[in-house]
């Protein structure tokens, strides 16, 4: 109300202002909403999960505008998330940096966390032998990748439907069950291949780390994982520099303790305070289980596609293995750009009204996000290749593997977008075709296929995968309903 209008209203002694007074005294409807959803959103880790909970409760953009005065559900969710911040911290609200920057830093840090076990590998190589290490990395690593991916998918589904305690229980159950599953796989591989018993310990340890990292990342507790694994990284680096059996023993022991502490912290994080009441997990996942087999297959194919290309070189070609590390480091940026793409695409709906303009803008957004992923991984790859050259280890095969990692990072980014659109059939089919093509070439010409030829074929399959994913997105990218 302007000052002039207020003055006129005050001077009009005949006007009945009782209705205005009642309106001014009326409780803000947003306060009622916050109180109603507080038990559900207290466990949310960002505003997007609050938005998912509000939408699941039937709240629409129209209702956000008419009833609460916010342009859309996502803007309203940010305010609800802000008002319930004290419930999560247990104290007064803490000044918050912007959501995009805060969550972006969390996501980007994931690449570094994925890399932490690499500092321990030299000591483990000397302790358990190259054969057990390679088998452990490929089989146990692949199992842990799939196990963590499935647990995360189920937990996020529960969280999005307003079941934070159920999400914690799901992560805890999968984490506990993962250890005996890894041990069984380790014993089976040991019996079939004759590898050392150290493979079993390595498989269990790798599963424990992956599930601990997965859970702590879910709760945005990346800094705890970094602090706990810091000693293991330091002693692993010390062994790499100094060598020696004594340093190796210390490195292995400290690494085991670090992983155990990280696992314990992750399990503690999943325990909700007593008194939280919500519907059971079965209720939270109603209507979701039909998609789980596709998620399981997609995660398994994703792991197999990368690990099968690395496996032949893990024990004898350090340059090719190291050349693939930029992809791992850059996965944090890939995850961040995939999440930001969804947020920015939804924001476009509130700014762009004409469908054609929305299609153009969302395609520009896709190209920019994809370019950011490719450039980031390429920059890290350039640093790694320069280091390999300085050490006299650079080869053409390593350069090609680094290029394949850059392209694969872009394909993984597009894969995240397609997964958000539930395009699992296309994802699984594309990965199966590309994986089958590489495997077929290696089987048809196992003796004549040099490392350079093999990595070149892998690069070609990653390019094909990228093209197939772009083709899948072409039919869905401009549909505004997919971003609501």
Q: Which helix (H) or strand (E) holds 448?
A: none
Is residue 412 domain-shared with residue 478, that is, in the same domain?
A: yes
Confidence of residue 20 (pLDDT cuts 50, 70, 90): very low
Rounded Cα distance, 37 and 58, in Å:
12
Does 405 lie in the same domain as 260? no
User: Does 283 fall in a domain?
Assistant: no
Tell me the per-residue pLDDT of 438-450, one tens digit each, with 9 for 90 and over.
988 888 876 667 8
Give me the mean pLDDT over the 424-448 stretch: 87
Higher pLDDT residue, 469 or 447? 469
Give the per-residue pLDDT at 126: 65
Residue 484 has pLDDT above 70, yes or no: no
Let me know: does 126 contact 243? Beta carbons within 8 Å: no
Averaged pLDDT for residues 49-64: 73
Quick one: pLDDT at residue 435? Answer: 93
> Using 50, 70 and 90 to split pLDDT, how confident is the model at 483?
low
pLDDT digits (tens, 9 = 90+) for 377-405: 999 999 999 998 888 888 899 999 999 99
Q: How far is CA 108 from CA 51, 215, 233, 375, in A?
A: 23, 16, 19, 14
Residue 343 is predicted with a pLDDT of 80
Label residues 277-297 b or e (16+ Cβ within 10 Å = b): ebeebeebbeeeeeeeebbbb
Greater confidence (278 vs 302) lies with 302
**Structural domain count of the chain:** 3
The per-residue pLDDT of the chain, averaged, comes to: 79
**102 inside domain:** no
The answer to whether residues 245 and 324 belong to one domain is no
Q: Which residues of 149-180 are buried (b: 16+ CB within 10 A; e: fewer)?
A: bbbbbbbbbbbbbbbbbbbbbbbbebbeebbe
Q: Check whether residue 341 and residue 465 sit in a common domain.
A: yes
Rounded CA separation 427/299 (Å): 10
Residue 86 has pLDDT above 70, yes or no: no
Asked whether 407 and 470 are in contact (CB, 8 A), the reply is no
Mean pLDDT of the 109-120 span? 79
CB 377 within 8 A of CB 330: yes
Q: What's the pLDDT at 353? A: 62
- 427/348 Cα distance (integer angstroms): 26
**Among positive and negative, which fits the CA dihedral 123, 127, 132, 136?**
negative
The answer, yes or no, to whether residue 7 has pLDDT greater than 50, is no
- Write down the pLDDT at residue 413: 95
Confidence of residue 369 (pLDDT cuts 50, 70, 90): very high
351 is a domain residue: yes
Q: Given a cut of 60, is residue 19 above it in pLDDT?
A: no
Residue carrying structure tokens 């197999």: 304
Burial 242-258 (b: 16+ CB within 10 A, else e): eeeeebbeebbebbeeb
Query: Are 233 and 261 found together in one domain?
Result: yes
Q: Is the pLDDT of residue 6 over 60?
A: no
Question: Rounded to two decimals, what is the model's pTM?
Answer: 0.73
Please tell me whether residues 436 and 319 are part of one structural domain: yes
In which band, very low, low, confident or very high, does the pLDDT at 3 lie, cut at 50, 70 and 90? Answer: very low
Average pLDDT over residues 2-19: 43
How far apart CA 333 and CA 327 sit, in angstroms, is: 10
Q: What pLDDT is recorded for position 174?
A: 92
Q: Using an 8 Å Cβ cutoff, are 163 and 194 in contact?
A: no
State the Rg of the chain over Cα: 26
Identify the pLDDT of residue 144: 86
User: How large is the average pLDDT for residues 256-279?
Assistant: 79
Same domain, yes or no: 46 and 123: no
The average pLDDT across 98-116 equals 70
Are residues 437 and 296 located together in one domain of the fold?
Answer: yes
Q: How confident is the model at residue 461 (pLDDT cuts 50, 70, 90)?
A: very high
Report the 3 state secondary structure along 383-439. Answer: HHHHHHHHCCCCCHHHHHHHHHHHHHHHHHHHHHHHHHCCCHHHHHHHHHHHHHHHH
Q: Would 402 be classed as within a structural domain?
A: yes
In the predicted model, what is the mean pLDDT of residues 279-305? 81
Query: 374: domain range?
Result: 291-484
Q: Are residues 302 and 438 in the same domain?
A: yes
Mean pLDDT of 17-41: 62
Instruction: Please determine, for residue 11, whether its predicted confidence score (pLDDT) is greater than 70.
Output: no
Average pLDDT over residues 82-108: 55
Q: How confident is the model at residue 90 (pLDDT cuts 50, 70, 90)?
A: very low
- 483 located within any domain: yes
Q: Does residue 14 register a pLDDT over 70?
A: no
Residues 302 and 394 in one domain: yes
| Mean pLDDT calculated for residue range 341-345 | 82
- State residue 93's pLDDT score: 39
Residue 385 dihedral angles phi and psi, to the nearest 5°:
-65, -40
Last residue in a domain, options 222, 237, 272? 272
**Domain's final residue, options 272, 307, 325:** 272
Please list the helix, strand and coil fractions of the chain in percent, rounded to the nearest 5, in that order.
Answer: 80, 0, 20
Say if residue 210 is in the same domain as residue 142: yes
Q: Who wins on pLDDT, 406 or 87?
A: 406
- Same domain flag for 410 and 467: yes
* Predicted confidence (pLDDT) per residue in 162-211, tens digit: 778 888 888 999 999 999 998 888 888 777 766 667 778 888 888 899 99
Longest C-alpha distance within the chain, in Å?
100
Residues 406 and 381 sit within 8 Å (Cβ to Cβ): yes
Judged against a pLDDT cut of 60, whether residue 226 lies above it is answered with: yes
């Amino acid at each position: 109300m302007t000052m002039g209008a207020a003055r006129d209203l005050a001077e009009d002694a005949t006007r009945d202002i009782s209705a205005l007074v009642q309106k001014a005294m009326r409780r803000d409807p947003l306060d009622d909403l916050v109180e109603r959803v507080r038990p559900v959103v207290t466990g949310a880790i960002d505003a997007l999960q609050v938005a998912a909970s509000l939408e699941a409760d039937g709240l629409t953009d129209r209702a956000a505008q008419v009833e609460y005065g916010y342009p859309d559900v996502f803007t309203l969710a940010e305010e609800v998330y802000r008002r319930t911040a004290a419930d999560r911290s247990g104290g007064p609200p803490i000044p918050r940096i912007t959501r995009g920057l805060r969550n972006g830093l969390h996501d980007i840090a994931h690449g570094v966390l994925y890399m932490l076990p690499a500092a321990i590998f030299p000591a483990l190589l000397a302790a358990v032998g190259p054969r057990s290490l390679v088998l452990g990395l490929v089989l146990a690593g692949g199992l842990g990748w799939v196990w963590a991916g499935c647990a995360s998918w189920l937990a996020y589904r529960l969280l999005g439907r307003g079941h934070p305690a159920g999400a914690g229980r799901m992560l805890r159950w999968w984490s506990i069950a993962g250890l005996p599953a890894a041990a069984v796989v380790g014993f089976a591989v040991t019996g079939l291949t004759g590898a050392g018993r150290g493979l079993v310990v390595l498989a269990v340890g790798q599963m424990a780390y992956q599930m601990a990292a997965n859970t702590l990342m879910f709760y945005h507790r990346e800094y705890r994982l970094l602090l706990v694994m810091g000693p293991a990284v330091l002693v692993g680096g010390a062994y790499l520099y100094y060598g020696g059996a004594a340093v190796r023993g210390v490195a292995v022991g400290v690494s085991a303790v670090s992983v155990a502490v990280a696992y314990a912290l992750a399990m503690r994080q999943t325990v909700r305070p007593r008194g939280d009441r919500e519907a059971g997990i079965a209720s939270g996942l109603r209507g979701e289980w039909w998609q789980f087999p596709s998620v399981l297959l997609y995660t398994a194919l994703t792991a197999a596609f990368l690990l099968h290309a690395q496996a032949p070189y893990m024990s004898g070609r350090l340059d090719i293995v190291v050349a693939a590390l930029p992809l791992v480091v850059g996965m944090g940026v890939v995850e961040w750009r995939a999440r930001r793409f969804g947020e920015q695409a939804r924001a476009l709906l509130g700014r762009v009204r004409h469908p054609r303009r929305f299609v153009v803008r969302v395609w520009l957004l896709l190209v920019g996000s994809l370019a950011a992923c490719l450039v980031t991984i390429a920059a890290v790859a350039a640093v790694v290749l320069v280091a390999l050259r300085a050490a006299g280890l650079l080869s053409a095969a390593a350069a090609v593997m680094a290029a394949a990692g850059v392209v694969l990072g872009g394909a993984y980014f597009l894969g995240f977008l397609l997964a958000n659109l539930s395009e699992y059939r296309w994802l699984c089919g594309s990965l199966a075709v590309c994986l089958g093509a590489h495997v077929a070439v290696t089987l048809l010409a196992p003796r004549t296929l040099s490392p350079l030829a093999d990595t070149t074929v892998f690069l070609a399959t990653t390019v094909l995968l990228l093209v197939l994913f772009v083709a899948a997105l072409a039919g869905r990218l401009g549909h505004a309903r997919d971003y609501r």
